[in-house]
Structure formats: structure tokens, C-alpha cells
Amino acid sequence: MAKRHEVVEPEIAIDPDLYCSAQPYDNDWQSETTSIGSSIYRGLEENGRRYQTLSRKEYLNPSDDKMFETYEAGHLVALVMDSERENPLFHSPIGDHPKNILDIGTGQGNWAVDVADMFPMATVRGVDLFPPPVTWMPPNCILEVDNIAEDWTWNEPQDLIHMRLMIGSFDAAEWARVYKQCFDNLRPGGWIEQLEASPYIECDDDSLPADNVLRTWGPALSECGKRAGRPLETIDMMQDAVRDAGFVEIHEKQYKWPIGPWARDQKYKEAGTVNYQHWMSGMEGWAMWLLTKYGAPHPWTQEEVIVYVAKLRAELQNPRHHIYERARRVWARKPFPNEPSPASSGRGPVIKTESV
């Protein structure tokens, strides 16, 4: 039997000053554009957004400047939420001298570039369906364009394979194959690590009324994900998937990522400030493909999505809503030869849960 210790973060304390101000949050966010004229870079324009064309199977998020801005904000939220750690980038104990690190679904490559800076002697690869718009990289960082749902062709055994915010990327069979390929491409004793966030907007007190439009977001997108055959509950399935792939020593850390600077504690306030920008810049892109293809009761128009997102944005700006999304980090080790894996021993591994 798998033994699981669930430790959920305590309720986040509220900043009384901000609560009393009732001023909407500021909306200033810089974007950077890059234009390179290859066909992969051109992608496919649809509903005012640009999508990747490498995979014949569509991926739900656009690959455009607005979305890269969103990925950068998501990267910062993850770093702030672990800012008390010497290494906020990952938790896997890979030692000081890793040789090969792989970041799959690297997005803009923010994580891969930071990890390459941290380990100048390692080769850090980031791979994605769309070429990341980066102008400078450390010499030990390689960003590649490839589809990780297909056969992997890297030869070097990896010390760490990392994934972040891959929610909604795959159906169940593709996920199982991705974890299997992670397992096969790690050296014995190497680590897999994944950080995912929930699509639901949550609230621990009564500050978000039951009929608020923000409460419709998670269920609406989750239903679209199901109809698309790509459930968005990645955060809740990854521990089992990692165990089923044969990994041992499974750890998890649960987070509440505040949305907006409503919290009193400085770390949560900073994370909430950046996460607010993450959501403001991200919502249209996260919703557009799902709702225009799989919206209920019929696929939505682009205009309907834009109007819906405008309503959500207006509510996100309200400092009285003490809202957050759940996030979870899972890291686990590939067993050494002759070390019994849970699959072969018939025992589930203990999941060690960290509270933060």
C-alpha cells in the first residue's frame, strides 16, 4: 500500500492595509518581441494568437510573445515560493557535479538557462515544440525544438529531468510514455522532478462569493480538458504516474500560490504580485484553444472568450478576494540496478510530503 502523508499549507494571512484600500491592482507588465522568419517561428495564427506547428497534434497554449511573457512570470512565481532555499530551482539532491540535465517543455527556457548558470560544467538541454525567443544563453545551455511525445534521441544518461507546468499537454497514454522515457533516459540514481499548478482558483475564507465568475474558471477549463482528452488535473496524477514508471524515494511539496498581493507575509505578497501578472497575461491564452474547440454548451467564439476573460480580469483586480491556486512539486529517483523498484516488489513507495 502506498503510504501518503498529506500536509497542506496553513491559511495565508491577509494584509489588512491592502484589504482596506479597495484599489484595483496595478497592470503594468513589460513584454519583449522577437521575430525570426523561419516557418516554425511563424507558427499558425488562430483567434488572434500564434500556435506551434511542429506537432501534428495541437497544443493548447499559444506560442507567442504574450505567452512567453506569461511563462516568465510563472518562472518567477515558482522561484519566489522557494526563495528561502539556497537552490529555488529544484529540490532533487543531484550533488554539485551533474553532467547532463534536461528540461522538457522548456517554454522560453527560463529554468534551463538559470540551471545552466548554476552548473557551468553541466550540459543543460531545454526542449520544446516552439523555438524559444532567447537572444543569449550560457554556453553550456542548448535549447532544442522537438516533440517529446515521440521517441527521444538523446544519448547521454541524464542526472535530472525536469518538467514544469505541462498541464494539459498529453492524454493518459502519452503521459505514461513521457514518464517511461524519462526513466529510460536517466542514469541509475538520477532524478525526475515536476512542478504543476491546479487550474482551479481557490479561497480559504468567504472573501470570494460563491457566484463570483472566478469560481467558474476551473470547472469550465477542466471540462474542456476532459472533452479534449487531456485532463488538466496533472497536479493530482503525477505522483501515481511517477510511481507507476518505477521511480523510488518519491517526495512531494504542496504550495498555495496566492493570486494578487493580498497576503501579509512578504514572500506570499511577492509571489502573489507576480502571480497576478501571470494570470492577467496568461488567461486569454490558456482559455482560447480550449473554449473555442471544446467550450460548452457549444464551442465559443473568439469574442466570447475575450469577454469572459475581461470579466475574470476585473475580478482578479479586487484586493478583497483572497484567492490562490494549488501547486505541487514531485521529485523521485531512478533506482540503482538490483534495487527493488515498487513495480517489481509489489510495494508502493512512501511519498514524503514536505510542508512549507
Ligand X SMILES: C[S@@+](CC[C@H](N)C(=O)[O-])C[C@H]1O[C@@H](n2cnc3c(N)ncnc32)[C@H](O)[C@@H]1O
Q: Which residues bind ligand X (CB under 6 A)?
A: 52, 55, 59, 61, 63, 71, 74-75, 105-107, 110, 127-130, 147-149, 164-166, 169
Nearer Cβ to ligand X (14/73): 73
Residue nearest to ligand X (CB): 107
- The least distance separating ligand X from the CB of residue 7, rounded to whole angstroms, comes to 24
Three-state SS string over the chain comes to CCCECCCCCCCCCECHHHHHHCCCCCCCCCCCCCCCCCHHHHCEEECCEEECCCCCCCCCCCCCHHHHHHHHHHHHHHHHHCCCCCCCCCCCCCCCCCCEEEEECCCCCHHHHHHHHHCCCCEEEEEECCCCCCCCCCCCEEEEECCCCCCCCCCCCEEEEEEECCCCCCCHHHHHHHHHHHHHHEEEEEEEEEEEECCCCEECCCCCCCCCCHHHHHHHHHHHHHHCCCCCCHHHHHHHHHHHCCCEEEEEEEEEEECCCCECCHHHHHHHHHHHHHHHHHHHHHHHHHHHHHCCCCCCCHHHHHHHHHHHHHHHCCCCCCEEEEEEEEEEECCCCCCCCHHHHCCCCCEEEECC
- The least distance separating ligand X from the CB of residue 104, rounded to whole angstroms, comes to 6
- The least distance separating ligand X from the CB of residue 222, rounded to whole angstroms, comes to 16
Residues whose CB is less than 8 angstroms from the CB of residue 79 and which lie 6 or more positions away in sequence, other chains included: 88, 89
- The least distance separating ligand X from the CB of residue 341, rounded to whole angstroms, comes to 26
Backbone dihedral angles phi then psi of residue 124, each to the nearest 5 degrees = -115, 120
- The least distance separating ligand X from the CB of residue 72, rounded to whole angstroms, comes to 7
Nearer Cβ to ligand X (59/183): 59
- Could you tell me how many residues make up the chain? 356
- The least distance separating ligand X from the CB of residue 236, rounded to whole angstroms, comes to 17
- The least distance separating ligand X from the CB of residue 149, rounded to whole angstroms, comes to 4
| CA–CA–CA angle 63, 232, 9 (5° rounding) | 110
Residue 156 C-beta-side C-alpha neighbours within 13 Å: 13
Nearer Cβ to ligand X (196/249): 196
Nearer Cβ to ligand X (174/304): 174
Nearer Cβ to ligand X (169/281): 169
Nearer Cβ to ligand X (255/262): 255
Nearer Cβ to ligand X (83/301): 83
Nearer Cβ to ligand X (70/212): 70
Nearer Cβ to ligand X (71/217): 71
Neighbours of 290 (CB within 10 A): 26
Nearer Cβ to ligand X (130/255): 130
Q: Which residues pair with 255 in a beta bridge?
A: 327
- The least distance separating ligand X from the CB of residue 209, rounded to whole angstroms, comes to 29
- The least distance separating ligand X from the CB of residue 258, rounded to whole angstroms, comes to 18
Query: Which grid coordinates belong to 295?
Result: 467550450
Type of residue numbered 238: M
- The least distance separating ligand X from the CB of residue 49, rounded to whole angstroms, comes to 13
